[in-house]
Amino acid sequence: MNPAALTDVAYEVERGVAWITINRPERYNAFRAHTVDELIACFKAAWADAHVGVVVLTGAGDKAFCAGGDQKQREETGDYGPSESGLFEIETLHRVIRDIPKPVIAAVNGIAVGGGHVLHVLCDLTIAAEHARFGQAGPRVGSFDAGFGSAYLARILGDKRAREVWYLCRQYDAATMLQWGLVNAVVPSAELRAEARRWADEMLAKSPTALRFLKHSFNADSESIAGIGTLSFAGLDLFVETPEAREGIEAFAAKRPPDFSKHRK
């Protein structure tokens, strides 16, 4: 992989740490299909690089970590744009974050909502800037993640809190997420990269084989969620073609409240 050829993501390796940065600040680092392709390529490059012991995932700028799927792209084309394979490879990205045999830190530098919230949930550890905001948006825009984004979230937060996050689509501050156990540390924005570096350095001093087996062991307990996720994404592919889902995305594009009342049964 040639980092200079990347358009949506930045990739650099610095003293044992691979920094993967979603680089679409003009869209609040929301991902399109091409962004997902580049993220997968970066994670695989870090996986293959023996000089890398820890990966840090973050976003460009100080406004957003990742605002999820690019809803403007979805409104314009009905999907998330072209990809290398012709598929929207978000499930593959989820898998590679879990499967890479190296710790992954989410350095949350701003908004982490929707699919962006799912990305930080999947990372092994989360360090957040004080101004970071967390939450879900799927039911508000005619979408959902009924796999790792919900079931695994319930493993971390507990069932009642996870349902609150998804059903109400509120946004929560970093201090609240620290209290709830979804964030490991909260620091001033100016210290976020340095703090992620400190945590990475502590892990770089540990046995990489031990860390690899520990990560696989932690993942094994929740691996059954992968099957649920595949089922839910298959359902999502059908749902996004419905008038109900279209109401969500059209309301988002028009900056108006959606009206889902006629879709209740």
- How many domains would you assign to the chain? 1
Pairing state of beta strands 104-108 and 64-66? unpaired
Domain assignment of residue 128, given as a range = 3-189+208-220
Give strand ranges (E) for 119-232.
Answer: 125-129, 133-135, 171-173, 185-187
Does residue 237 sit within a domain?
A: no
Does residue 137 sit within a domain?
A: yes
Instruction: Give residue 255's pLDDT.
Output: 86
Domain harbouring 21, CATH code: 3.90.226.10
Does residue 39 sit within a domain?
A: yes
Instruction: Give residue 241's pLDDT.
Output: 86
- CA-based Rg of the chain, rounded to a whole angstrom? 18
Does residue 226 sit within a domain?
A: no
Does residue 80 sit within a domain?
A: yes
Does residue 200 sit within a domain?
A: no
Q: Which residues of the chain have pLDDT under 70?
A: none
Read off the pLDDT of residues 40-99 as tens digits, 9 standing for 90 and up: 999 999 999 999 999 999 999 999 999 999 988 887 787 888 999 999 999 999 999 999
Instruction: Give residue 249's pLDDT.
Output: 81
Does residue 236 sit within a domain?
A: no
Read off the pLDDT of residues 85-110 as tens digits, 9 standing for 90 and up: 999 999 999 999 999 999 999 999 99
